Amino acid sequence: MSFADSPVLIVNRGEIAIRVARSCKALGFPVHCIYSDADRNSEYLQYSEKAYALGSSAPKESYLNIEKIIKIAKKSGAKLIHPGYGFLSERAQFVEEVTQAGLIFVGPTAASMRTMGNKIEARKTVDRLGLLRVPGSLDRVNSAQEAAGFAKQVGYPILLKAAAGGGGKGMRRVDSENNLPGAFDAAAREALSAFGDEGLYVEKLIINPHHVEVQIFGDGLGSAIQLGERECSVQRRHQKIWEESPSPLLEKFPSSREKMFEAAIKIAESVNYAGAGTIEFIMDEKGNFYFLEMNTRLQVEHPVTEWITGIDLVGWQLLLATGQFKLPASIPVRRGCAIEVRIYAEDPVSFLPAPGAVHEIRLPSGPFVRVDSSMMRSGEVSVFYDPLIAKISVWANDRTECLQRLRVALDETEVRGELNNVDLKLGSLMTNLRFLQKLVRNTKVLAGETSTDLIIREKKFLDQTQTPLNIEAAIAGALVNLTSLTGCPQHKHMVSLWERQARNEGILYP
């Protein structure tokens, strides 16, 4: 098949659509994209030559609507379909329909998605390979009684997890048999409403674990390589907000790292995996690790790996899809340290989404600072989709330097909601930016002691964070001596957007 001048259709939105478009352009592919009503004015549309309307904004009617997307794909003349992450990126049915339409899905086959992208099937595969997974039931459990049987085997506390779960949703901790029947019914109801599937399985709850994952890349012919690990233990609501490589925990256990890499490659090769994928593990403080799940797609946090390996992962995906890829003869060298943080539109206390208008945004720059965002000047965080505003990642020779660089980058960043939004109204934008600015100064984070319960353990330290949303708060914030608040002398010289606005309005000292 010749790919000359045939566009890549990116069937996603936001920052990942821009990210993918950049690699397409670098390799000479024209870029086409799709948009829903809510995205009519989104910045990412400016990165593509043609944009096709999907209509309604609800995901089911737009970015998850296979029929509409296949129709657009045929009309666009695209030969390659890039799914980004989320939405249809892990739907085997979508891969099949793309293939049936004579087009190429940039990603793994439907078969490997069915085997490894499904949590239960993946656990069975890992068992067959003789690797360690989190202990618990191998299959779905049909009743609280059945769950209690597994809980007895592995010991309390356990986690009830939705078989069709994802995005940190559908998990429920159970500490004793007495609580199991109630928890089981509630978890099944939640799973049904969130995923349309009430199936649950049981896992032993690993106490204060670390989340460590391995980036792999497979050639689709039975060979795969590892591209290093990422530690993603800083989480809220079981979802990542900070990812880094190398993993501070694995630095203490070099032999666990080698075993983890071997396990990840074995899993990828067992399904003839094609392209970028991530094998996630849960690890305890003694260096024991257990398979958690596989993500059969590009990961949100892939920039961390790109920093330490110098590889353009999307570029590799495109080369593989067009038959121009060969795995390197030796494993790419990993250099230095990289950290990524995710700025979300969310309440910094409850961590629930708080989307709204972004009146002004100032994103950082400087040596070894990367920003992945679809908001360059202003925009809107839609209620319909993931409330990610920006990913900021930095690279340095070592972790200490990397943390310093990240602190400066976060201090340069400002995200501001509606202009003159004097009252804190429901529907006003809130962000976790101040929270992240505190996090990068936390002693546990600085020491690399970041198990998944860190945010709960450090609540007191992190709770001082507030995101000023209005002029009153801006004045209050600006008048506080920020040096004493953060212990960071750089703040003295920063003029925040809040402060600038107050100055413009003559409310604050010049």
Q: Does 211 bind ligand ADP (CB under 6 A)?
A: yes
Q: Does 371 bind ligand ADP (CB under 6 A)?
A: no
Shortest distance (Å) from residue 110 CB to ligand ADP: 20
Which residue, 32 or 297, is less far from ligand ADP as judged by CB? 297
Determine which helix (DSSP H) or strand (DSSP E) holds 95, and give its type and residue range.
Answer: helix 92-100
Torsion sign across C-alpha atoms 494, 497, 499, 501? positive
Taking every pair of Cα atoms in the chain, the longest distance, rounded to a whole number of angstroms, is 69
Q: Assess contact for 339 and 391: CB atoms under 8 A.
A: no
Q: Which among 125-133, 205-213, 348-356, 464-472 is the span making contact with ligand ADP, rule CB under 6 A? A: 205-213
Which residue, 157 or 181, is less far from ligand ADP as judged by CB? 157
Contacting ligand ADP within 422-481 (CB under 6 A): 452
What are the DSSP calls for 267-333, one per residue?
A: HHHHTT-EEEEEEEEEE-TTS-EEEEEEE-S--TTHHHHHHHH---HHHHHHHHHTT-----SSPPP
Q: Assess contact for 496 and 486: CB atoms under 8 A.
A: no
Shortest distance (Å) from residue 160 CB to ligand ADP: 10
Q: How far apart are the C-alpha atoms of 385 and 23, rounded to whole Å?
A: 24
Shortest distance (Å) from residue 179 CB to ligand ADP: 17
Which residue, 76 or 235, is less far from ligand ADP as judged by CB? 235
Which of 27, 28, 42 has the alpha carbon at shortest distance from 358?
Answer: 42
Q: Which among 48-56, 198-206, 356-364, 474-482 is the span making contact with ligand ADP, rule CB under 6 A? A: 198-206
Instruction: Tell me which of 19, 133, 257, 297 is the catalytic residue.
Output: 297
Q: Which among 197-205, 315-323, 394-402, 428-436 is the span making contact with ligand ADP, rule CB under 6 A? A: 197-205
Which residue, 61 or 146, is less far from ligand ADP as judged by CB? 146
CA atoms within 13 A on the CB side of 371: 18
Q: Does 293 bind ligand ADP (CB under 6 A)?
A: yes
Considering only 86, 108, 199, 209, the residue that binds ligand ADP (CB under 6 A) is: 209
Q: How far apart are the C-alpha atoms of 163 and 216, rounded to whole Å?
A: 24
Contacting ligand ADP within 83-142 (CB under 6 A): 134
Cβ atoms < 10 Å from Cβ of 328:
11
Contacting ligand ADP within 139-168 (CB under 6 A): 159, 165-168
Shortest distance (Å) from residue 46 CB to ligand ADP: 32
Shortest distance (Å) from residue 162 CB to ligand ADP: 8
At residue 185, the 3 state secondary structure works out as: helix
Q: Which among 148-156, 201-209, 419-427, 479-487 is the span making contact with ligand ADP, rule CB under 6 A? A: 201-209
At residue 105, the 3 state secondary structure works out as: strand
Q: How far apart are the C-alpha atoms of 76 and 73, rounded to whole Å?
A: 5
Q: How far apart are the C-alpha atoms of 322 and 5, rounded to whole Å?
A: 13
Tokens of 464: 């001082």
Considering only 282, 320, 439, 478, the residue that binds ligand ADP (CB under 6 A) is: 282
Which residue, 45 or 159, is less far from ligand ADP as judged by CB? 159
Q: Is 297 designated active site?
A: yes
Shortest distance (Å) from residue 452 CB to ligand ADP: 4
Shortest distance (Å) from residue 282 CB to ligand ADP: 5
Q: How far apart are the C-alpha atoms of 44 and 170, rounded to whole Å?
A: 31
Contact pattern for ligand ADP over residues 232 through 251, marking x by CB under 6 A: ---x--x-------------
Shortest distance (Å) from residue 211 CB to ligand ADP: 4
Torsion sign across C-alpha atoms 374, 377, 382, 388? positive
Amino acid at the residue 378 = S
Considering only 69, 122, 164, 205, the residue that binds ligand ADP (CB under 6 A) is: 205
Q: Which residues contact 34 (CB under 8 A, 6 or more apart)?
A: 9, 10, 11, 13, 51, 52, 53, 54, 62, 63, 69, 72
Q: How far apart are the C-alpha atoms of 363 and 392, rounded to whole Å?
A: 9
Residues touching ligand ADP: how many (CB under 6 A)?
Answer: 20
Tokens of 303: 């920039």
Q: Does 366 bind ligand ADP (CB under 6 A)?
A: no
**Annotated catalytic sites, by residue?**
297
Q: Which residues here bind ligand ADP, judged by CB under 6 A?
A: 134, 159, 165-169, 203-206, 209, 211, 235, 238, 280, 282, 292-293, 452
